[in-house]
Each structure stands twice: as structure tokens, then as C-alpha cells.
Structure 1
Amino acid sequence: MESTIVMMMVMTRSIFCFLGLICLLSSVNGLLSPKGVNFEVQALMDIKASLHDPHGVLDNWDRDAVDPCSWTMVTCSSENFVIGLGTPSQNLSGTLSPSITNLTNLRIVLLQNNNITGKIPSDIGRLTRLETLDLSDNFFRGEIPFSVGYLRSLQYLRLNNNSLSGVFPLSLSNMTQLAFLDLSYNNLSGPVPRFAAKTFSIVGNPLICPTGAEPDCNGTTLIPMSMNLNATGAPLYIGRSRNHKMAIAVGSSVGTVSLIFIAVGLFLWWRQRHNQNTFFDVKDGNHHEEVSLGNLRRFNFRELQIATNNFSSKNLLGKGGYGNVYKGILGDSTVVAVKRLKDGGALGGEIQFQTEVEMISLAVHRNLLRLYGFCITQAEKLLVYPYMSNGSIASRMKAKPVLDWSIRKRIAIGAARGLVYLHEQCDPKIIHRDVKAANILLDDYCEAVVGDFGLAKLLDHQDTHVTTAVRGTVGHIAPEYLSTGQSSEKTDV
């Protein structure tokens, strides 16, 4: 009798453990198929299979994974649902799998500036939570699916610079939340519906009907609610005009005047650049004279070669987009980190070098990385920093022993103090533009130090943002900066 009771208790406990495991898997993985396959994993693997990935950015997408939240280019919610998919500028080709419509929790899709072809999935309207969709600068063809109009939460839509054809879908007029729309440079035709978007562009579609009253135009005339302007003040979309010839004449005159101003501006810019002094005068890359710039020491290249054992791979501390960082020991036994810029003689290297030196000379704070000095020759540009014995947050989080919560809190507060100084106490304020775990360094006492100012921008305090070409590290760029090009202290945070 006792053995029977014990067996029943064991079976009951096993059943509860099994049910608990099922609940745990459901909470972690979202929706599971009867075979225990995560639908989101399956959809993402279908997307990967339909694309050609020359740079291997999707290599860690694994069909056998429990959930996709640790994959590159994938963003998940706190409930472990996939809400973001972003692989811009990765030279991807192939087609976009219709399985993307199974990722029904998606809010952001960024696939711009690739070589993707084929049609936009016809059921794209199933992604009812989508807020940002950017498929620009690809080779998508065919019509814009009518179901796009079902994306009632969509605020930002870019389909420009593709090969889309067919009539403008009237369903676009149903998208009441749409704030930005760009359908320029396609082969769309027919009348233009009334958009709710405050800003939109449809230039570069030669078959559109400006008024809807043209002989070859079928459908109802719908005049756009708003039009954005080009540099000359002329609308990108020109509606009804009572005097077409006058518009052409005015446009030609404005265009001619603009060309003259541009030519004069280019000439003045060239003359200024031709006459201006270089950032540092480099006459002899091997001189031994010690030169200072403020409190910065100018190092001899041979000195840094010896310090790093000729930039030995054994002394490599890390790699970045602009160069490698090496550990070095100077002649006075000072331990330093030497950042050797790639393509030091190129224009991009010159700009990055100058930016970093200027920004660090402006910002001096205990939670900001200070600069010991620099070395510059015709072919090399190097920056010398204090050596951070605990590396970066990215590397330290993987090391042993595990950091306790008091140290983690100190690191977080230190990094925040550094950013507050850049944003609030510098004049003009400094926008870092590449804040990530790899750029927050830790000294001997695990004090956080914000580093790598090569992408930083100056901004007057009365300005809310600066519009630039998007720069930074894929996976760490704020979504609003990636989609608008507008960077501010908020995109740093």
C-alpha cells in the first residue's frame, strides 16, 4: 500500500514538472507548433534561406535554437517575441520570404540598401503592429500589395529606389497613423490618393497622373494632403497648375540660379580647403623632437613600435571599425593602449583622427577616456590612451569572476555621469553616436570610462538634433536615428 502511494506521489510530481516545463517553454519561446517548433524561429530561418548573405551576418541563426532573441539583427520584447528585424546595408540579395508575415509581433523592419529582388509579400498587411517599414534602395518589383493599407499602426514607410510598378494603391489613404512616406523613383502609375502622411515624396514616377484628369488616367482624382519640398522650394509632387508654362519658366530660372550658387560655393570651399593649414604639419615621420598639443604628447612612431613589440598580435586588445588597439609599455614603464587607425593616410582616417583628438581635448572628466598623446606620419595615425586593465564592459561581462551588483551599479552610474557631462556640461554639447558595451571601458577599480569619440558630433544647446549620415555599429544604433538620420543625446542614451 505504501509503495503504491509513493508511486502515485512520484507520478503526480512528474506530471506537474512536465506541465511546468511546458509553461516555461511557452513563455520563453512564444507560440509553439504541435512538434515543439518555435514559429518565429521557423519564419526567420525561411527568411534566411531565401536570402544570399555574402558577409555572413546571419550565420548565428540556428534552426535548432530554442528562441531567436540572441541572434544578430533580431530584437525581442521583454516577453521574448520578435519585434525588430534589421539588416540594412549588408549586401543581401535573393528574395524576401512570405514567412515574414508570420512574425506578427514585428514593429520594425529595416532592410534598406541591399540587393533584394522579387515581390513584396502580398500578405504584408498581417503585420498589424508594424510601425516602421523600410525596404528602400533594393530591387523589389511588382505592385505594392493592397494589404499594405491594413497596417494601421504604420508611421514610417519607405519603398523608394526600387522597381515597383502598377497603380498607387488606394488603400494607402486608410493609414491614419502614417507620418512619413517615400515612394519616389519607382514606376508607379495612376492617380495619387490622399495621404495622411505629413511628409511624403513621389518624385521619379513618370507615369503618375498629377491631377487624375489626364486622358490615360483611370480612377478617382485624390489630391495629396501635403507635399514636402526640395532644396529650391519647389514641391516634389506638383498638382494642379493653371499656368504650366509659367511654372516651367520659374522652375528653370530657379534651377539656373541654384546652379550658379552651387558653383560659387564649391569654388569658395575648394579655395578655403586648399589654403587652410593641415591639422598637424607632418614633415618627417621619424623625427625625435617631442612636441605637445596642449597637454597632449606627440610620440615618435618608432617609440610606439617598440612599446607594442611592432604591433604584435599577442598585444592586441581589440578591433574596431576604424582600427586595432594594442597594449604597450613605454620606456618609462607606463602601460598604455595604442589605437592604430586603419588607412591612416586616407581622408576618412584623417577625419576620424582629428575628430577624436578634438573631442577628447574638449571633454575632460573622470568618466571619459583621456588621451595621453598621438603619433602622426604620412602613412600612420595613432592615439595613445591609458591602459584599462579590466577591458570593456562587453569583454568583462564574459569573464570570471562574475561582477556583483554593487560593482554593476557603480559601472552604470559612472557611464551615465560621463554621458551627462557630454550632453549637459560641455558647450557645445557632444553627441557620442557610438555608445555600446565595447566602448565603455573599466579601470583598475571597475570605474566606467566612456571612450572612442571618432564618430562624435558637436551640437549647440538650443538645437534638438543633428541630421547626418547614419554612423555607428549595427545592432547598437537607436531605431529612430537609423530611420531618420537625426542624432541627439536621446539616441546616445
Structure 2
Amino acid sequence: MGPFLGALLLACLLSFVSADFQGYSCLNAPVGQFFSGFHFTGDALIALKSSLHASADQLKDWNQNLVGPCTWTNVKCDPSNKNVISVTLSSMNFSGTLSPKIGVLQNLSSITLKGNGITGEIPKEFGNLSNLTSLDLENNNLTGEIPSSLWNLKNLKFLTLGKNNLNGTIPQPISGLTNLISLSLDSNDLSGQVPDILFNIPNYNFTGNNLNCGVNFPHPCVSTENNSGSSHKPKVGLIVGIVGGFVILLFGGLLFLLCKRRQKGNKGEFFVDVAGEVDQRISFGQLTRFAWRELQLATDSFSENNVLGKGGFGKVYKGVLSDNTKVAVKRLIDFGSPEGDAAFQREVEMISVAVHRNLLRLIGFCTTPTERLLVYPFMPNLSVASRLRELKPGEPVLDWPKRKRIALGAARGLDYLHEHCNPKIIHRDVKAANILLDEDFEAVVGDFGLAKLVDVRQTNITTQVRGTMGHIAPEYLSTGKSSERTDVFGYGIMLLELVTGQRAIDFSRLEDEDDVLLLDYVKKLEREKKLDEIVDRNLKQDYSIEEVEAMIQVALLCTQASPEDRPPMSEVVRMLEGEGLAQRWEEWQHVEVTRRREYERLQRRLDWGDDSVHIQVAIELSGGR
């Protein structure tokens, strides 16, 4: 029963993965350094990848810029606390060695590296993995002695080191091994006496060595039913059953949950409302499908007192879950029929795999016939817009170093969406209000993918323009067609918000109609070299004018009228880091001077024409920006 049920559950898992996540991946954002969310877990796994000499095509998503290793291939985490519990890298043709840094992963329960070309010794640090239950290094080219530290792993059940080049003697166990049920050391270069205590293990194999398996007693070098040489098939069957049972205990819960999800019968946390009706929360992988009742309770029935913000996609409510976790619940609008439920869930799952330090992580969602809700972590410092323009008495202003870091972080997040997600994700509403700030004032791009989510019922994505006036690129406004470069335009406006602290549209500047739009206002002052008048007065001149000028230049390059002229976000990241801005700015200035001369020439021609022609051309010139 054990092996059969294990195989059945494994087949179910493979079916789930291939059906639900085929084609969804977010890989390799090539920016930044290790960050706090990684801690030592990410460091250790990256060190393992490096020491194994993984090729460019292997373990692509093992990347230090992702939020955590739980999203990486061949890595499994405990769903309750996100600790890494399993690493499986079988038959991948590695040629390197084992990194001793893996020894810091105290929560690991299973490591499988069999069937590779791994060389070198087994690090003694593996003996620090106190929760390890299975270690499989079979069929590699490992050398050296077996570390005696492995015998300290009291939870170890399966130790498989066969088919290597290990030498020396087998260490004498001093403690541990009380739970070991399978030990394979066959086909090595081991010598000496096998410690008697190892013959008490239900399943062992010491064959293919220079070992003495029976000095005091006629011990066989492989486990059998008894020492008389009778058939050992019954005992092998027992061991196989035990092995299968262990696999089920280790992975059964997760696999069962995933399989049941496909049958829409998931086990979850139940919530009973005052009328006695039962609702249910369902967890699968990194994402949770929340019960409507739970989110209703968390937000105090979506009380207006809990509203964090609102916009074209709906309202956002602060909430507290039953385990006291603070969340932000976005209640989407523009939904009617229930037919879009499956499509909505697929899009949510696709967005949930976009994981980067500068992207807002999706915790879960909730759907009913008339409702769609998304659940995110609560951002304690709210949004860039609120920190610029809605400061409460006593709250500090965003200083210039924070603004620079926000600009770079947001650029990295957008670059990840555009260049490293498959399919790519276009935000379509980049603005200061959608750049959130965590507890360390790190920029976190929010609401990405929502434009696609709310359009799942539309047959033509160009029928509905999503965004905020003043932030919308001119080509998107006039045609309804969006691209990565529409996001670049919105990002440029967001940079101007960061520098000035002002809104994208401000009717208080009506005395000069050309200054209503923040972009026109900044362009005018930049031409007049009045940079100090551009900068947010709340900074009280505590900034570098050279850095301000550089950020304004990047913003103006991003907000060019033609989308083809705008730099991609990858180039924006490089310019913010100090690479290539001077050359790009010089090229832009040449084009801008030519354009303005042409405009002035046209104006002079219009002065000689009649009023009707003048008015018509003026209208055309003042069209969508």
C-alpha cells in the first residue's frame, strides 16, 4: 500500500503542476544585492548552486533578488512558516562540490543529490542539520571519509551514500541513529570492521567494499530475513512499505492538499457566520483562497473606517486575520457574471509567481459570483503619494536618500515585470499612489497585473483605458493600446512626483495653462535652469542638486511623446545607477532643440494665416499628451 499510494500522490502532483502552471515563470532579475528577506537560507542555497557549478541553463530562478527560496524550482517549503524543508537535485550532471554552507539550514528534512557528478568530500557541516530525515548522495564521485558528524542526526531515517568513492572506515556511532531504517554504503572503497550497531538497522547494504561484516558473528553485508541465507523478500517488502509510509508522512499532506484542490474539495480552515453557514479558507502552495466570511470579519464588514485608499480598480481595506496577521484587502470593481471565476483564478496564479523584492507579494484571493478580492501584506508606510502629500503632524518627510532608493527600487520592480516574467506583465497605472513602502521604506510596486485581471471578460483589450489622468502615455490615451513603454511614461511622471512632491495634474497652477500638467511645468523650469524651484520645498534644500538634475533628466527621457524614444526599464535602472545617462541626455537635447525650432517655425507661419487655421492647428497641437 505504501509505494502504491506514494506513486498515486506523486502522479497527482505532476498533473497539478503541468495543468496549472505550464508556461508561468518569472526568472533572473539581474539587479541588486542580497536583501533581508533572504537571510542565511538564500545565501546557503546560492552557495550550493555555485559550488555545484550549475550551468547558465540550470537553476535559473535560484536568484538572490527574489523574495525567497520558496518560489525556486526543486525547493520545497513548509506552507505554514516558509522554511525550506526539501532540496531535490537529482541527475542534473553537476560537476562541482558540496558547499558546507548548506549546514546552516536547520529546518531541512530532505536532501537528494543522487545521480550527479559531484566530487570532493561530504562536508562535516551536514551533521548540523538536526531535522534531517533523508540524505541521498548516491551515484556521485564523492571521496574522503564519511563524516562522523552524520551519526549525530537523531532524526535521520534514510542515509544513502552508495556508488561513490568514499574511503576509510565507517565511523563508530556514539549517539543518534535511533530512527535510522535504511543505510546504503555499497560500492565504495570503505575498509575495516562494520560497527555491530549498524546491523540493527532494518535495511542496510555494505556490499562492494573491503569491509569485514562478520569478525565476531557471521553478519551478511546486506540485510536479509535471517543469517541462514533464506529469502529476504518479506523483509524487503516490509522495508518498502516503511519507506512508502515515510514518504507519505513527509509529503502526503502537501500532495493530498494539492490533489484535492483540483477536485474542488480542499481541506481548509472553516468559518461559521452568525446564521450558522459554513465558509472555508483553502491554502495551496504560496497562495491562499480566502473565505468571504474571513475577509468580512477581518475588515469589520468592509468598514469605511478601514479604507486605506481607493482608485479605478476599487477600494483597499486594512484587515486583521484570525491569526492577527495584518493585511490589505483590495475589493475589485467591474465584475458581473460568474463565468469569469476560472479565468480570474488563472490570472491570479500567474501574477502570484512574479516574485521580486520590489513587487508587492500576493497572499491570496477570494471569489464569489459577484465579488473579486485580492489579499496583500499590509504596508506600514503606505504609499509614496501619501508620504509626499498626506503627512500627519509630526511625521518626517521623505528625505532625499529615501527618494533615490525608491526611484531605483521601483525601476527594478518594473524591469522585472517587463523582462523577466513569462508572459510579461504590463502595469498600466504606474504612479506614486501605487508605489508602496514597507517598514524600511523600500519601494514595492503594487497593483501590477490588475488591469489584466479586470479585463478578463473583455474580448478586445483596447476597449478600455485604465490609468490615472496625468500619468497616462499619449499613445495609450489615444489608441487604448498599451506596452512596456506606457509603463515607462508613468514611471517618468512618478519620478517627477518624487522630486517635486506635487501631483501630476494641479489646477492651482491655472494662471499659466501650460503648467497644469506637472510634466510641462518641470520641462519649462528645466529649460530655464531653475532646478531649485522644481524641488519639493519640504526637503528644505537638503539634497544634492546634481542628483536632482540627474533624476529629472531620467524622468524627461521616460516621458518622451514617442514610445519608441523612451528607454526600456532595464536602461532606466542603469541610468539611475550612473551608467549611460550623459550620452542619452545629450542625444535627447539635440532632438528636443530641433523639435522646438520646428514648432517655432510653425508658429511663425500660423501668424500669417487666418484665425480658423490657427485655431485648428492649435487644437491639434494641444491634443493627447
The answer to whether the superposition gives a TM-score over 0.5 is no
Larger radius of gyration: 2
TM-score between the two structures when normalised by the length of structure 1: 0.39
Higher helix share: 2
Q: Which has the higher contact order (CA 8 A, sep 6+)?
A: 2
TM-score between the two structures when normalised by the length of structure 2: 0.31
Higher strand share: 1
